[in-house]
Amino acid sequence: MLMAFSTYFLLVLLQIFSALHFLSLAQDQSGFISLDCGSPKGTTFRETTTNLTYISDADFINTGIGRSIKQAYRTQFQQQTWNLRSFPQGIRNCYTLNLTIGDSTPFISALELRKLKNTTYLTQQGSLQSLMRADVGSISNQVLRYGSDVFDRVWTPYNFESWSQISTNQTVKVGNAYQPPEIAMVTASVPTDPDAPMNFTLVAGSRTTRFYFFMHFAEIQELNSNETREFNIMFNDKHFFGPFRPINFTTTSVYNPTEFVVDANGKYTFSLQRTGNSTLPPLLNAMEIYLVTLVPLQETERKEVDAMMNIKSGYGVNKIDWEGDPCVPRDYRWSGVNCSYIDNEQQKIISLNLSASGLTGEILEFISNLTNLEVLDLSNNTLTGLVPEFLANMKSLKLINLSDNELNGSIPANLLNKARRGSISLSIGGNTGLCSSGLCATMKKKKRNTVIAPVSASLVSVFLIAAGIVTFIILKRKKRDKLGNGTTPLHSSSHHGYESPVIAKNRKLTYIDVVKITNNFERVLGRGGFGVVYYGVLDNEPVAVKMLTESTALGYKQFKAEVELLLRVHHKDLTCLVGYCEEGEKMSLIYEFMANGDLKEHLSGKRGPSILTWKGRLRIAAESAQGLEYLHNGCKPQIVHRDIKTTNILLNEKFQAKLADFGLSKSFPLGTDETHISTVVAGTPGYLDPEYYRTNRLTEKSDVFSFGVVLLELVTNRPVIDQKRERPHIGEWVGFMLSRGDITSIVDPKLPGDFDPNTIWKVVETAMACLHPSSSRRPTMTQVVMDLKECLNMEMARNMGNRMTDSTDDSSIQLSMDFTTELNPVAR
C-alpha cells in the first residue's frame, strides 16, 4: 500500500529569480501582521534582531486589558513581550484580522501572521501544525527567522551524533516555491560513515496521527567527473522517492502530497540510502514536519456573517462574545445565536435571540439575509416602526416573537395569514400601537365618526373601564396562581437569575433548635442516601431539614467549608440553604421547603392523577438546566452535582423547578492545570456517566450525561433501567426506537396530545447528545439551556398561535395580542 505512494511524489524544481528580485522579497513585510499585544494605541517599534515592525493590537480587538511587565524583567525578553493583553472577562475574546482572501485568565503578548504562497503546504484535510522545522546542517547553532527567511519561519539547528556537517561559501539558489533560507541551504549533514544510511525515527502519540514531510536538498560540493551522489528515500522500509541526485547549488524540495500514516508499531522511520551507482553518501540540508490538525467544523457562511455584523453595528449590540465567527467554535458561539452544525458543511444560523438587548429603531432588513433562520426573538426591546413585509417572505422562519416593543401600524397580511394557517408562530403582544390591517381600518373609521358625549356619560365610561381593568388583572393573577401543572413562567429578577433566600438571615443552629423547629422530628418528608428529611418551621416559614446519617457525617470532613460555600450560592433554580447545624456527629442542612415534592413523584403519579403538560415539562427542564448551568459556570469554585436525577428536581408551590442536593456534591477549583479530579465514583445507577465510572475522572460533563437521562424521562416517563425492554437503559432503548423512525412510540402515552412534535424531536436530540459516550462530544449546560429555552418558546408561541386561529375576525387577534407576554425568560 505504501509502495503506491511512489507514483505521487512530486519534485519542486528551482525557478530562477534574479538576485535583485530575491533581495526585494527578503525586505518586503507586506502582508505581515505583527501585533504587540497590550501596548497603548498608536505604539509602533522595529524589533532589533529581525527588523520586523510591530504595532499595537488596540485596533484589532475590543476586549481585554492591556498590561506591562516590570522594568526589571524587560532586559531578559524581546520587546514584543514587554506588554500583554489579559482576558479576565468572558469565555470568548476574538481578534479581527482582515486578511487578503486567497478556565483561567488567558493572555497573549504578541500575535504574528505571515503570508505564504497558495501552492505550498497543501493538505487534503484540516490544517497543518508545525512539529519541526530544522536547519539540519547548521554550523553556527543559531535560530533563523526573518532576515534569513522571507516568510519569517523559525528554523532551529538539528544534528545527529552519527552525522557530520559540510558547508560551502558559494551561493545556493533558493527561489522555488518554498524558499528555504539560503543560510540553511549552504550547509548540510551527511552520515559520518559514508556507507551508512541517514536514519531518523518519530514516535507517534496516537495511531490516528497524520503528518506531512518536506525535505530540502542542494548539492553544495564541487563533484569531480568520477563522483556521484545518488540515493533513495525510504519510509517505514518502503520505497518513498528516488533514485535522486541533488542539483548543484540549487534547491530542490521533496514532499508527500498525501498524509503519512503510522505503522503497526506507532513509528515513522525515514531512511536516505545511497544507491549502487553512488560514490558519495546521501545529503540533507533542511527538513520540515507538520502534523495534521482536523478542524471539526467549517466556518459560518460569509453572507450570514456579514448579516450578523450589520445587525450588530445597526443596533449597537454590545456583547463581549459577539466577535469573530458567530457559530464556531460550537461551545463558544455568540450568545443568543444557534446554528445548524452539519458536518463538512458551512454553518448556517437557525436561531437569533435578541430579547431584552436594548434594541431601538426599526426592525433591520439585514435580518432577511439570514435565509436559514427558524427562530427570531426580538421581544422586550423598544423597537419602533412597522412590522416589515420581509418577515413573511423568510421561508425557514417558524417562530417570530416581537412582543413588548413599541411597534405600530398594520401587521402584513401575508404574515397574519401564515399565523392563521399555523405555518408560523407569531407573538406580538405588548405593542399598543400594533393591529391587524382590518382592525386598523375599523378603528380609523370609528375615530372619524366619534362625537363628544356628555360629561356624565364619560364618567360612567371611565368607571366601567377602570372596573374592567381591575377585574382583568385579578382574574389573570388568579389564573396564574391556580396553574398547578408546571406552566408558570420562568422566574426572572433584577439579579439575572439570583434571588434572596427564603429566610434572609443564614445562620448556624443548635441541635436543640433543630429539634424544636421539626417538632421533635414529627413529620418525615423523605429518605435518601444522605439521610432523612423532616418538615420544619423556622421564623414562620416552612423549611426542609435534612439530617445527615452518622456514616455520612463521619465521612464528611469538609462539612463546614462546604456549608460556607453553599451559603453563598443563591439562584432561583436551586434549593436555597438557609441554615445548618453542626454539633459533633449531629449535622443537618436546612433548606427552603418545596411544597410539591420531586419531579419523579409527579411523573409516576404518586402525587395523584394530575399529569404534567408538555409545556410544563419543558419549563421544568429549562429551569433545572439553568440551575445546573449556574453550578457549572456561575460558581467559583465550580460545583459538579454528581447526582442529577428526577428525585433531586423539586417543585415549589407554583411548580417552579429547583435542583436539590447539590450541597452534598463534589466541588473543585477552576484555574489549575488539571481538567479533572480523581474521586470515589458516586452517583445513581442509570444516571451515572459511564466514562466517569470507567476512569474515575469527574468533570461537569458527567452532570450533562445525567441530565440527558432526565430529559428522556420527561419525554417518555419510562424507567431509567428496565431489564424487560429490548434495550435495558433508557438511552439505548430510545436510540433503538428512533432507529425505526417513529418518535411517537417513545412519548409518554399519558401526555396530552396537544404539543408540537418538533419540540419533542429537539429535546430528544439534545438528550441523546448529552448521552454521548465521549464526554468531550457532549454539549455544555449552556448549550442545553439554550436548546430548551428555544423549545419552550416555540411551544408557548404555538399555544398563542392556536388562540389566534380560533376565530378569523380581527377582534380575536387583538385579544390574543393583549395576552401574549413573557415568552422569553431572562437568562442567568
User: What is residue 126's three-state secondary structure?
Assistant: coil
Does residue 570 sit within a domain?
Answer: yes
Question: Which cell goes with 246?
Answer: 541533488
Has residue 803 got a pLDDT over 70? no
Segment 568-578 shows an average pLDDT of 84
Does residue 22 sit within a domain?
Answer: no
Segment 654-675 shows an average pLDDT of 61
Q: Do 402 and 476 belong together in one domain?
A: no
Does residue 819 sit within a domain?
Answer: no
pLDDT at 498: 36
pLDDT at 499: 37
User: What is residue 429's three-state secondary structure?
Assistant: coil
**Distance separating alpha carbons of residues 91 and 632, to the nearest angstrom:** 13
Segment 495-512 shows an average pLDDT of 54
Residue in this structure with the C-alpha cell 463521619, named with its chain if needed: 554
* Percent of the chain residues past pLDDT 90, beyond the cut: 33
Query: What are the CB-based long-range contacts (under 8 Å, 24+) for 148-154?
Result: 148/181, 148/182, 148/183, 148/184, 149/179, 149/180, 149/181, 150/25, 150/26, 150/28, 150/179, 150/181, 151/114, 151/115, 151/116, 151/179, 152/32, 152/50, 152/52, 152/112, 152/114, 153/114
User: What is residue 135's three-state secondary structure?
Assistant: strand
Is 546 annotated to bind a ligand? Reply is yes
The torsion angles phi and psi of 789, rounded to 5 degrees, stand at -65, -40
Cα-only R_g, the chain: 34
**By CB neighbour count within 10 A (0-12 exposed, 13-18 middle, 19+ buried), where does 523 fall?**
exposed
Does residue 278 sit within a domain?
Answer: yes
pLDDT in tens, 60-101: 888 888 888 888 878 777 788 888 888 777 667 777 776 554
pLDDT in tens, 392-428: 999 999 999 998 899 999 999 899 888 888 788 888 8
Alpha helices in 126-199 (DSSP H): 182-185
**How many residues comprise the chain?**
828
Has residue 132 got a pLDDT over 90? no
- Quote the Cα angle for 743-747-752, to 5°: 125
| Span between the terminal Cα atoms of the chain, in Å | 56
**Distance separating alpha carbons of residues 545 and 524, to the nearest angstrom:** 9
**Distance separating alpha carbons of residues 771 and 750, to the nearest angstrom:** 25
CA atoms within 13 A on the CB side of 662: 32
Comparison of pLDDT for 484 and 212, the residue scoring more: 212
DSSP-assigned beta bridge partners for residue 65: 86
DSSP-assigned beta bridge partners for residue 526: 533
pLDDT in tens, 189-201: 999 999 999 998 8
Q: Do 553 and 702 belong together in one domain?
A: yes
Q: Do 668 and 602 belong together in one domain?
A: yes
- Quote the Cα angle for 717-720-724, to 5°: 95
Has residue 362 got a pLDDT over 90? yes
Q: Do 630 and 666 belong together in one domain?
A: yes
Has residue 477 got a pLDDT over 70? no
**Judging by DSSP bridges, how do beta strands 349-353 and 337-339 pair with one another?**
antiparallel
601 vs 598, 647, 650, CA distance in Å? 6, 8, 10
Q: Do 631 and 745 belong together in one domain?
A: yes
- Quote the Cα angle for 687-693-696, to 5°: 130
Q: Do 319 and 363 belong together in one domain?
A: yes
Q: Do 364 and 511 belong together in one domain?
A: no
Output the average pLDDT for the chain. 78
Given 80, 113, 146, the domain boundary residue is 113
Which residues are CB-contacts of 826 (< 8 A; sequence separation ≥ 6)?
356, 490, 492, 493, 496, 497
Comparison of pLDDT for 64 and 560, the residue scoring more: 64
pLDDT at 799: 65
Residue 669 has a CB neighbour count (10 Å cut-off) of 11
Residue 174 has a CB neighbour count (10 Å cut-off) of 26
Quickly state the pLDDT bin for 505 (edges 50, 70, 90): very low
pLDDT in tens, 25-36: 345 677 788 888
Residue 457 belongs to domain spanning: 452-482
Segment 642-652 shows an average pLDDT of 92
Does residue 712 sit within a domain?
Answer: yes
Q: State the catalytic residue, choosing from 36, 135, 573, 643.
A: 643
pLDDT in tens, 454-476: 333 444 444 444 444 444 444 44
pLDDT in tens, 443-457: 444 444 433 333 334
Alpha helices in 299-344 (DSSP H): 302-315
Q: 0.85 cut: is pTM over it?
A: no
CB–CB of 577/502 below 8 Å?
no
**Distance separating alpha carbons of residues 401 and 404, to the nearest angstrom:** 9
CB–CB of 268/262 below 8 Å?
yes
Which residues are CB-contacts of 264 (< 8 A; sequence separation ≥ 6)?
none
Active site residue 643: yes
User: What is residue 566's three-state secondary structure?
Assistant: helix
pLDDT in tens, 295-346: 777 889 989 999 999 999 999 998 878 888 899 888 788 989 999 887 778 8
Q: Do 382 and 513 belong together in one domain?
A: no
pLDDT at 106: 55
The closest of 347, 341, 387, 389 to 370, measured between CA atoms, is 347
**Distance separating alpha carbons of residues 787 and 773, to the nearest angstrom:** 20
Comparison of pLDDT for 363 and 539, the residue scoring more: 363
For CA atoms 295, 300, 301, 302, the dihedral sign is negative
Given 97, 113, 129, the domain boundary residue is 113
**Distance separating alpha carbons of residues 284 and 613, to the nearest angstrom:** 74
Question: Which cell goes with 620?
Answer: 421544568
Q: What is the largest CA-CA distance in the chain?
A: 126
Q: Do 704 and 653 belong together in one domain?
A: yes
CATH of the domain at 533: 1.10.510.10
What is the secondary structure of 669-684 as a DSSP string? -SSSS-S-EE------
Quickly state the pLDDT bin for 679 (edges 50, 70, 90): very low
Quickly state the pLDDT bin for 169 (edges 50, 70, 90): very high
Q: Do 550 and 563 belong together in one domain?
A: yes
Quickly state the pLDDT bin for 814 (edges 50, 70, 90): very low
CATH of the domain at 268: 2.60.120
pLDDT at 473: 44
Q: Do 635 and 743 belong together in one domain?
A: yes
**Distance separating alpha carbons of residues 716 and 746, to the nearest angstrom:** 5
Query: Which amino acid, residue 127?
Result: S
Segment 166-187 shows an average pLDDT of 94
Quickly state the pLDDT bin for 561 (edges 50, 70, 90): low
Segment 161-186 shows an average pLDDT of 93
Does residue 821 sit within a domain?
Answer: no
Residue in this structure with the C-alpha cell 426591546, named with its chain if needed: 381
CATH of the domain at 432: 3.80.10.10
Does residue 50 sit within a domain?
Answer: yes
Q: Do 272 and 396 belong together in one domain?
A: no
Given 113, 143, 163, the domain boundary residue is 113
Has residue 735 got a pLDDT over 80? yes
Question: Which cell goes with 339?
Answer: 446554528
pLDDT in tens, 694-729: 888 888 999 999 999 999 999 999 999 999 888 899
Strand residues in 605-705 grouped as ranges (E): 638-640, 649-651, 657-659, 666-668, 677-678, 697-698
Does residue 492 sit within a domain?
Answer: no
Quickly state the pLDDT bin for 24 (edges 50, 70, 90): very low
> H/E/C letters for each residue in 220-279?
CCCCCCCCCECEEEEECCEEEEEEECCCECECEEEECCCCEECCCCCEEEEEEEECCCCC
**Treating both helix axes as pointing N-terminal to C-terminal, what angle do 700-716 and 614-633 enclose, rounded to 10 degrees?**
180
Has residue 375 got a pLDDT over 60? yes
CB–CB of 639/568 below 8 Å?
no
pLDDT in tens, 221-279: 999 999 999 999 999 888 999 999 999 999 999 998 888 877 767 778 899 999 999 99
Overall number of domains in the chain: 5
CB–CB of 173/285 below 8 Å?
no
**Distance separating alpha carbons of residues 650 and 663, to the nearest angstrom:** 14
